[in-house]
Structure 1
Amino acid sequence: MIYEGKAITVQSVEDGIAVLKFDLDGESVNKFNRLTLDELRQAVDAIKADTSIKGVIVTSGKDVFIVGADITEFLDAFRLPEEELLAWVGSANAIFNDFEDLPVPTVVAINGIALGGGMEMCLAADFRVANEKARVGLPEVKLGIYPGFGGTVRLPRLIGCDNAIEWIASGKENTADEALAVGAVDAVVDSQYLEAAALDMVKRAISGELDYRARRQAKLEKLKLSPIEQMLAFESAKGFVAGKAGPHYPAPVDAIKAIQKAASYGRDKALEVESAGFIKLAKSSVSSSLVGIFLNDQALKKKAKRYDKVAADVKQAAVLGAGIMGGGIAFQSALKGTPILMKDIREEAIELGLSEASKLFAKRIEKGRLDAAGMAVALNAIRPTLSYGDFKSVDVVVEAVVENPKVKQTVLAEVEDQVREDAVLASNTSTISINLLAQALKRPEHFCGMHFFNPVHMMPLVEVIRGEKTSEQTIATVVAYAKKMGKSPIVVNDCPGFLVNRVLFPYFGGFAKLVGAGVDFVRIDAVMERFGWPMGPAYLMDVVGIDTAHHAREVMADGFPDRMKEAGRTALDALYDAKRLGQKNGKGFYAYETDKRGKPKKVVDASIEGILAPIKHASRELSDEDIINWMMIPLCLETIRCLEDGIVESAAEADMGLIYGIGFPPFRGGALRYVDEMGVAAFVALADRYAELGPMYHPTEKLREMARNGQSFFG
């Protein structure tokens, strides 16, 4: 044994060939944590000191190669002062450089995933051979940073500037064949031949058949582009990528700038350029937010996995109500492999649901994400029915009928008599109390909420709502079914609006106050879109449906009259009374025309002013900052109340619910991280500035205590 550690071993196998194996003790995958980096330093030094070694193969003892950096550990490094962080990155790069500079040829055998730092390890080798399952890439931009272990330096010199920009700026994972096509790997073989192929390749390099020195030299020099070629390549790429990434996500464009600036330098100077830009991004609030989202998402997955132990297996599902929502639920269930019955009392509704599912399958075929055979299988997994004939075989029933408590109670009681006693019933309700609906049932322990967001196929969140009598197995079964459907479930407790809509309606309440104060709703939309929302509040209400929003607002006002009951008529009331229901009938805050692709396009409608005039009771001069605060303070405070009231269990779940459910700007990390970024004390002081606007703007006593104690939500 040449070197033996807890993450890495190096041993001689034959004819002076050494195998450096990553096999992190106690973990299911390899990742670059401090231990692994420290041991890689020692392993490289041990190889350098052993003059009998003629070549090195790098392998993995896990089912994958290296999944990337251990971001939980690296977050601590990101918090270091800039000089210390620069020294830390420099020491890591020195390890990769020393590996790259070994006096013998090196070959990496990539089995499965090699992402981020894992891929940068591969790039430091002379040759790369991958198995057919390999997926490789540099996804760091998704965390608000770019590669920091030489990825922006080595990849362009290996696969060319254009290909490297596409890989790094998009952050996408690439298949083994895609990597082979651009030269990121040198061979792709069946898994069973991977190590034999790597061994063969290193022997050919030792014999001189493969010129490893020439391959290595290209990574040590400047990029081989003339000044004009550089200008054309980089300037056009920056413009295109900036348009795709948007103004709030600087990492993709900064990565291109780093590649451009380093193009005229050799490796060591180029790495200094990369490190300087990497550190700037690592210290940014955007990176902090996106890393926070990544960690929150991991926590959500871990929590959802705990339910697997008690969840019943869902082999057959059913949806009641075959409209757009029912069709969307049926599509998602069938697509992910769970057969589903789609029941309605009207033939035309069944046809609508099937049509919706068929359209969604057709779109996947258009985008190359499904073939005709796959579509046929999935469509056959949706069985339309007008009766309860086959419901004895159903494990979970999702009720998705009209949002009316009496109708829902009637339907739920009816279906309860048609299913097995152990079958789970779930209501896809956006606001109605699960405890109220459960009053109609004989077995309330088998009932919970399962709130999908529209459009079902696009929105990742499912709120799983626990009623007072809901059993743990019911929750576990519905969480498992949501996961099986490809969704991110968050378990919440019952209250009007649950988590997401309870938080959304104070935001809409702030909007109502702004319009009532004479602020143009088009301006409000523009300000909030610049803030980072995918659409402004007026446009969002048009998309949701003015009637739907009006009904939900009434439910929320009844549930929380102290702060959500409006003192007088609002813009929502005015539009509802004028039967301007939004996109669904072509007129809401905006009017809607059909564009060339057949999609609704919003246009400003002059007649709206006359409809809104009666509800405008003042005309105040407000800044863009005021507009943001009028809307964001109530949203953040209601999120805090949900956490304090135990509606949601953790700050991570609260923030992810808003990001996945209503498109809260990811680069801001969620409502609670937004408050943390500002500082709890500063947020309380800001809310107090707007206290005259009413109870929605009044911090809770517990939040004031947090402010006094210097506490935060994420520590």
Structure 2
Amino acid sequence: MEHTSAFTLTKQDNGIALVAIDVPGETMNVLKDTFGPQINALLDEIEHDNDITGVVIYSGKDNSFVAGADVSMLEACTSAQQGAEIGKGGQDIFNRIENLAKPVIAAIHGPALGGGLELALACHGRVCSDDAKTQVGLPEVQLGLLPGSGGTQRLPRLISVQKALTMMLTGAAQRPKQALKAGIVDAVVPRAILLQEAQNMALAGKPKIRPTKLNLVAKLLENTALGRKVLFSQARKQTLRKTQGNYPAPLAIIECIETGLAKGMTAGLALEAKRFGELMMTDESKALRSLFFATTEMKKEQGVADVPAKPVQKAAVLGGGLMGGGIAFVTATKAKLPVRIKDITDQGIANALNTAFGLLNRRVKKRILRHSQMQQQLSLITGTTDYSGFKDVDVVIEAVFENLELKQQMVADIENHCSLETIFASNTSSIPISQIAAKAARPENVIGLHYFSPVDKMPLAEVIAHAGTSDQTISTTVALAKKQGKTPIVVKDGAGFYVNRILAPYMSEAANLVLAGEPIDKIDKVMVKFGFPVGPLKLMDEVGIDVGTKIIPFLVAEFGERFTAPDAFQVVIDDDRKGKKNSKGFYDYSAQAKGKTVDESIYTLLGLTPNPTLTDTHMIQRCVYLMLNEAARCLDEGVIRSARDGDIGTIFGIGFPPFLGGPFRYMDKIGIATLVEELQELAKNHGDKYLPAEILVNMSEENKTFY
């Protein structure tokens, strides 16, 4: 076949044909809808050549088996019908592979995700390498879609239905050992013998399907009509509890699996293709795909275009608290850099090391990591109570208390103990970087690097440049944050930066709703139903009420009255209510309640009797519209570089509903003119803080959108 094809067939003397997948012009293998004729020609050749007794499909690329379908081809679709045809095209090819009389084995090294795993499932056997890169999964739900080329039908027939449901509803990938245990692959071998093992399997004929080992309860649930009814009904209930009905894809996945098992493969495949096409046209999938494209783009960008990052060989962290420990952990485990923690006490260093040990040990227990790998990663983290070992550090990340004098002292210490080039990155959440750099001898090396808690889980980092920060410092800090597994956005200096600045009015308004008589748990439930992971008052308790309100004076000083918070916050703090950390907040943290119910004494403290009167829509508008308005101002003032960065920052930083695509896509969806009218109406009834940002008024008049 000509070399422009993504598929190359090589016949071996032993009768096995090796089919290599190597998509031209792509860093990883992805499936495209234009491959149909190439694959069909290949299958014709395999069928008609009597010398070929078996087939092994493998990747010609070093980094992936097949990482999924090419998402950009989906963007070209203009109707559900077109989307369904893409699904059906994939199904037809994979059915043809499954129906081949000759054994076909998939030899998997690297990610086999989405369409990549669907291809492997259509083969008669699967063997994968034990490499850390190798993983299998069906992550389509994360794009608001379902596996549309047979995945909803083949996976539940191969492994336990419950395991297949979990994989498809969460999109979680399985590592080699997990895939073997689940029955997705037939063997796991070292990469060096992967192709040989796959050929041996093909020579032995079609492997027998191993029955899934199920306990008695699972057998009753999966193998009887009544059991399945219960199983799918529970799956629907749990899914609706998790998604609040905001995501259509999970319910479509459940429906396709259930239909296939009840009415057979043909009916299951027909419904799968139909639902795939319909989901592709939903606003939710479009928003989630826009996030995928945005993060893909951001991976390719530098902090400052055309200014390369300086290599970082060693990092240090000041402060061994929860944030410091988390930052050291991602630096050692993700960025794979030696990191030195300085704290004023040995106990602080011990706490930071314990944080890292706890997180890694959990992964060892889950068999994701070997004990030796844990030891190796822990050995990258060292501690000190003085500045020994700081001479050759490239970047120092400061995570000490929110106190300006202390942070300025840290800058001076680093300038004394490190090289002229060392970058000082502050993890402050509220103090403007220009103030931290005010007394610096080398202000060009000072930058903000704001992580979100917990550091090991939250994907965002804000990189904050003050007016004197050098371009190289920006690029180097962005590159380091990426190595730590973060998605960094570059933000202009100013109180609250971007994420906390737009979060503050949302939180304050939630407190105003409490003062207006709305029950605390009702407000939180409404916001969770809207799509936030937790409600604003619960979030206050999680972050720490004292920490959450610390930013308010900085915002008021810089932006004025619209950031004034209700006095209730001070009353709560004066009562020593810090939230979850001291088991005293808006919620009850006693052994019985465990933070699930409101601490009723807070109403007495605030002199209130809860009396719900407001509609859900009104409460959402009061809180969320303040956030939208502030986000628009941030874009107008150049605090963020683009609407895209603003959307990513809000989704990854505070869990803004991903299915809405972020505040800017959501404003486009509402309609800028409608939003301006609704903000003006709110301003009439609830004060000037709702007056629409100038940028929104202008956009409304000019009929413009953010995207």
Structure 1 match to 2:66: 66
Distance verdict in 2 for CA 1:379–1:41, change over 3 Å: closer
Checking the alignment, whether the CA contact within 8 Å between 2:125 and 2:207 is kept in structure 1 is no
Structure 1 match to 2:320: 322
Which amino acid is 2:705 matched to? S
Structure 2 match to 1:678: 670
Displacement of 1:517 in angstroms is 3.3
Displacement of 1:629 in angstroms is 0.4
What do you get for the CA RMSD once the two structures are aligned? 3.4
Q: Normalised by the size of structure 1, how large is the TM-score? A: 0.87
Aligned 1:230-379 pairs, distance under 5 A: 230-231=228-229, 233-239=231-237, 247-303=245-301, 310-336=308-334, 337-346=336-345, 349-350=348-349, 352-354=351-353, 356-357=355-356, 359-361=358-360, 363-364=362-363, 367-368=366-367, 373-379=372-378
Distance, in Å, in 1 between the alignment partners of 2:257 and 2:186 is: 23
Structure 2 match to 1:220: none
Displacement of 1:625 in angstroms is 0.6
Partner of 1:581: helix, strand, or coil?
Answer: coil
Structure 1 match to 2:158: 158
Checking the alignment, whether the CA contact within 8 Å between 1:307 and 1:479 is kept in structure 2 is no
Distance verdict in 2 for CA 1:660–1:101, change over 3 Å: same
Displacement of 1:193 in angstroms is 3.3
Structure 2 match to 1:115: 113
Checking the alignment, whether the CA contact within 8 Å between 1:557 and 1:565 is kept in structure 2 is yes
Unaligned stretches of 5+ residues in structure 2: 211-221
Moved more, 320-329 or 61-70: 320-329
Distance, in Å, in 1 between the alignment partners of 2:705 and 2:541 is: 36
Structure 2 match to 1:218: none
Aligned 1:183-582 pairs, distance under 5 A: 183-205=183-205, 210=206, 225=223, 227-228=225-226, 230-231=228-229, 233-239=231-237, 247-303=245-301, 310-336=308-334, 337-346=336-345, 349-350=348-349, 352-354=351-353, 356-357=355-356, 359-361=358-360, 363-364=362-363, 367-368=366-367, 373-561=372-560, 563-565=562-564, 569-582=566-579
Q: Deviations over 1:607-651 (max 9, x none)?
A: 32243239x9x9994211100000000111211222222211122
Displacement of 1:341 in angstroms is 2.6
Distance, in Å, in 2 between the alignment partners of 1:590 and 1:128 is: 50
Distance, in Å, in 1 between the alignment partners of 2:605 and 2:583 is: 16
Partner of 2:301: helix, strand, or coil?
Answer: helix
Distance, in Å, in 2 between the alignment partners of 1:301 and 1:472 is: 18
Which amino acid is 1:684 matched to? V
Distance verdict in 2 for CA 1:511–1:267, change over 3 Å: closer
Partner of 1:593: helix, strand, or coil?
Answer: coil
The reply to whether residue 641 of structure 1 matches residue 633 of structure 2 is: yes
Distance, in Å, in 2 between the alignment partners of 1:350 and 1:159 is: 46
Which amino acid is 1:573 matched to? Q
The reply to whether residue 625 of structure 1 matches residue 589 of structure 2 is: no
Checking the alignment, whether the CA contact within 8 Å between 1:451 and 1:462 is kept in structure 2 is yes
Which amino acid is 2:553 matched to? E
Distance, in Å, in 2 between the alignment partners of 1:228 and 1:270 is: 19
Structure 2 match to 1:712: 705
Displacement of 1:450 in angstroms is 1.1
Partner of 1:675: helix, strand, or coil?
Answer: helix
Distance, in Å, in 2 between the alignment partners of 1:308 and 1:114 is: 34
Distance, in Å, in 2 between the alignment partners of 1:502 and 1:532 is: 20
Distance verdict in 2 for CA 1:370–1:11, change over 3 Å: closer
Which amino acid is 2:419 matched to? R
Q: Normalised by the size of structure 2, how large is the TM-score? A: 0.88
Distance verdict in 2 for CA 1:687–1:660, change over 3 Å: same
Which amino acid is 2:655 matched to? G
Displacement of 1:85 in angstroms is 2.7
Which amino acid is 1:629 matched to? Q
Aligned 1:586-605 pairs, distance under 5 A: 586-594=583-591, 601=595, 603-605=597-599
Distance, in Å, in 1 between the alignment partners of 2:564 and 2:226 is: 64
Structure 2 match to 1:219: none
Displacement of 1:668 in angstroms is 2.8
Partner of 1:276: helix, strand, or coil?
Answer: helix
Structure 1 match to 2:218: none
Distance, in Å, in 2 between the alignment partners of 1:673 and 1:695 is: 25
Partner of 1:62: helix, strand, or coil?
Answer: coil
Distance, in Å, in 2 between the alignment partners of 1:50 and 1:632 is: 64
Structure 2 match to 1:690: 682
Partner of 1:429: helix, strand, or coil?
Answer: coil
Checking the alignment, whether the CA contact within 8 Å between 2:679 and 2:690 is kept in structure 1 is yes
Checking the alignment, whether the CA contact within 8 Å between 1:637 and 1:696 is kept in structure 2 is no
Displacement of 1:451 in angstroms is 1.1
Unaligned stretches of 5+ residues in structure 1: 216-223
Distance, in Å, in 2 between the alignment partners of 1:574 and 1:121 is: 61
Q: Deviations over 1:544-591 (max 9, x none)?
A: 22322332111111111153235xx53213323444333344333334
Displacement of 1:347 in angstroms is 5.1
Displacement of 1:234 in angstroms is 3.9
Which amino acid is 1:169 matched to? L
Distance, in Å, in 2 between the alignment partners of 1:34 and 1:233 is: 35
Displacement of 1:9 in angstroms is 3.5
